[in-house]
Amino acid sequence: MGEIKTDRRISRTRRLMLDALMALIEERGYENITVQDILDRADVGRSTFYAHFRDKDELLLSWFEHLRSLFEQQQQSLLTARRTGSATEVNIVLDLFRHTAEHHKLYKAVAGRQSGEMILKYLHRYLNGLLLPIFEELTRKRRESPVPVEVTANYLVGTLLSMMTWWLDHNMPYPPEKMEAMFRTLTRPSIEAALGTPVDDSSEAVNNTAESFYRLFIDPVCCPGR
């Protein structure tokens, strides 16, 4: 019982500091905020802050825990569906665009040179690490592909983040669903070229690696067992 209370207290303290940071970002922009500003707004001590976070960058990145949790659940769903032949509906790309739209003020507020680069590097590293095991699972039985799977995964994640940055910079002229559809249009030829096999939309079964790759990463309805 004591551990539960301690966990709740820790969660509450971390939430207070994160909420303070989010409010300050919207008011001043990330680059203009100091740790002391966060302490004053959250009404916590310096020792408390450093017991949880190394610096304000680490506090900011903790904001992505919800997104990370969502993607990890989706990864498990995709891998389970692939192994069992069951159907699952998952769209990692659309979820990312929707998350960005929902929090676009904060994304734009942290888009200063230093913080923006930090967040993009974090997202690139995380998404690449999340998706690479899925791609490796799909290509495990293939003897050779024209492009190594890690290169293909890196390219697709880079393209996704580049489109997301453009979208924010231009005040989101298209809805998330349109951005996701355009991403599929642009990346489909790359997937086919990288794996050396075409995606057959008319096929009733996912019968080749490129089609599986395409459906699992960017098809709105991913049905590996179909």
Q: What is the mean pLDDT of the chain?
A: 78
Highest mean pLDDT among 90-99, 104-113, 154-163: 154-163
Q: What is the mean pLDDT of residues 127-146?
A: 73
Q: What is the 3-state secondary structure (H, E, C) of the chain?
A: CHHHHHHHHHHHHHHHHHHHHHHHHHHHCHHHCCHHHHHHHHCCCHHHHHHHCCCHHHHHHHHHHHHHHHHHHHHHHHHHHHHHCCCCCCCHHHHHHHHHHHCHHHHHHCCCHHHHHHHHHHHHHHHHHHHHHHHHHHHCCCCCCCCCHHHHHHHHHHHHHHHHHHHHHCCCCCCHHHHHHHHHHHHHHHHHHHHCCCCCCCCCCCCCHHHHHHHHHHCCCCCCCC
Give the pLDDT band of residue 182 (cuts 50, 70, 90): very high
Q: What is the mean pLDDT of residues 66-88?
A: 64
Reply yes or no on whether the pLDDT at 47 is more than 80. Answer: yes
What is the reported pLDDT for 223? Answer: 38
Q: What is the mean pLDDT of residues 133-152?
A: 75
Reply yes or no on whether the pLDDT at 143 is more than 90. Answer: no
State how far the Cα of 129 lies from the Cα of 2, in Å rounded to an integer.
36
What is the reported pLDDT for 162? Answer: 92
More confident residue, 202 or 4: 4
More confident residue, 181 or 204: 181
What is the reported pLDDT for 225? Answer: 37
| Torsion 219-89-70-129 (CA) sign | negative
Q: CATH 3.20.20.70: does it fit domain 2-53? A: no
More confident residue, 59 or 219: 59
| Torsion 174-177-178-179 (CA) sign | positive
Domain locations along the chain: 2-53, 62-218
Reply yes or no on whether the pLDDT at 175 is more than 80. Answer: yes
What is the reported pLDDT for 66? Answer: 61
